[in-house]
């Protein structure tokens, strides 16, 4: 039986994985967050992996405060670079697989067509730079691993995300300004969790070392269109006013158009990619 370590398990993706894995019972799962296993502590990572005979790691832990990382990049470096490096080096020592999660923010978003895995990263923010450095740390370790880049994650199990914020504003305000010149793919963390669990049993057949795959829900929209859809699905009488990014300045620059091409993950692993609108209409009932 597999012994799977899920780090950052109290976050959006980790919580969705727990919900799915708890229904299965075909593996032993160890759900850890900062309190149980701080991934920035190399000794603790090694002790946990050897102490629990871990056979696979899914790293959902991350520092995701994109604007916060501009003011102080130290925690982002620790959690997004040192953490994955510790997990990857331990995975290499034990000959076990690591699934690591990264982001569309490794791209500058200047392309108007979906990004392939082979496209050159060029992050605009400290957050993006630390996530890219985390990918490189995983690759450099030489461990059995895949890296999945995703985008605009939300989950009703998450404490803070765009959907939750829009529902709150929609209930409190008559109108809300939302940027209309940033395009991406809203992704229900449940869909990504399902994709990961679909991939997991296929990993043993083929050794992969830091191979990158893209996964987001299908289709794309602007932040304003995403907000508008949320208001409509919740029947909230709040007008979404489209505004340019220039009128809503943030400390971190964000990619204007970071849509991921999912052909590779579909072809290699047979992953199904649902449409973002369909997934949102399922998820919204659970918020
Ligand atoms: N959210 C997005 O829109 C988005 C977009 C693209 C890619 N991603 C990537 O997708 C993955 C999953 O994201 P998510 O939205 O599920 O993240 P999340 O909800 O922020 O969860 C991350 C979890 O990691 C925990 N954590 C922080 N530092 C840790 C440490 N040193 N050791 C162990 N756990 C630690 C966090 O705890 P605290 O809450 O206490 O800090 C949190 O529970 C991440 O790699 C993220 O970068 C996310």
Q: pLDDT at position 243, please?
A: 97
Q: What are the structural domains of the chain?
A: 2-158+185-219+258-275 (3.40.50.720)
Q: pLDDT at position 196, please?
A: 98
Nearest-atom number in ligand 1 for the CA of 41 is: 31
pTM of the model: 0.97
- Quick check: CB of 8 below 6 Å from ligand 1? yes
Q: pLDDT at position 26, please?
A: 86
Alpha helices in the chain (DSSP H): 12-22, 42-51, 68-71, 74-77, 83-94, 126-141, 162-172, 189-199, 223-233, 263-269, 276-283
Rounded to whole angstroms, how far apart are CA atoms 184 and 254?
11
215 is catalytic: no
Q: pLDDT at position 112, please?
A: 87
- List 97, 127, 154, 215, catalytic entry: 127
The secondary structure of 161-227 as a DSSP string is -HHHHHHHHHHH-SEEEEESS-EE--EEHHHHHHHHHHHGGGGGGS--EEEEEE---BS-EEHHHHH
Q: Which residues of the chain have pLDDT under 50?
A: none
Beta bridge partners of 68: none
Taking a C-beta distance cutoff of 8 angstroms, is the pair 40, 65 a contact? Answer: no
- Quick check: CB of 101 below 6 Å from ligand 1? yes
């Amino acid at each position: 039986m597999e012994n799977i370590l899920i780090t950052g398990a109290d976050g959006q993706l980790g919580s969705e994985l727990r919900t799915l894995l708890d229904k299965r019972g075909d593996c032993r799962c160890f759900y850890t967050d900062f309190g149980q296993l701080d991934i920035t502590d190399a000794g603790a990572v090694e002790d946990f992996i050897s102490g629990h005979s871990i056979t696979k790691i899914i790293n959902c832990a991350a520092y995701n405060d994109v604007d916060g990382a501009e003011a102080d990049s130290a925690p982002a470096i620790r959690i997004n670079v040192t953490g994955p490096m510790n997990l990857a080096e331990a995975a290499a020592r034990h000959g076990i697989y690591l699934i690591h999660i990264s982001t569309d923010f490794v791209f500058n978003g200047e392309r108007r067509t979906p990004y392939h895995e082979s496209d050159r990263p060029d992050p605009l923010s400290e957050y993006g730079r630390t996530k890219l450095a985390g990918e490189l740390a995983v690759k450099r370790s030489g461990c059995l691993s895949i890296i999945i880049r995703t985008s605009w994650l939300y989950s009703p199990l998450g404490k803070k995300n765009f959907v939750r914020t829009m529902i709150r504003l929609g209930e409190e305000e008559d109108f809300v300004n939302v940027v209309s010149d940033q395009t991406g793919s809203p992704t229900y963390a449940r869909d990504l969790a399902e994709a990961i669990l679909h991939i997991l049993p296929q990993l043993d057949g083929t050794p992969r070392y830091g191979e990158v795959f893209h996964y987001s829900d299908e289709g794309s929209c602007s932040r304003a269109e995403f907000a508008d859809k949320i208001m409509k699905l919740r029947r909230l009488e709040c007008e979404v006013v489209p505004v340019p990014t220039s009128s809503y300045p943030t400390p971190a620059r964000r990619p204007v158009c970071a849509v991921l091409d999912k052909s590779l993950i579909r072809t290699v692993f047979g992953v199904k990619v649902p449409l973002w609108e369909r997934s949102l209409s399922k998820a919204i009932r659970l918020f």
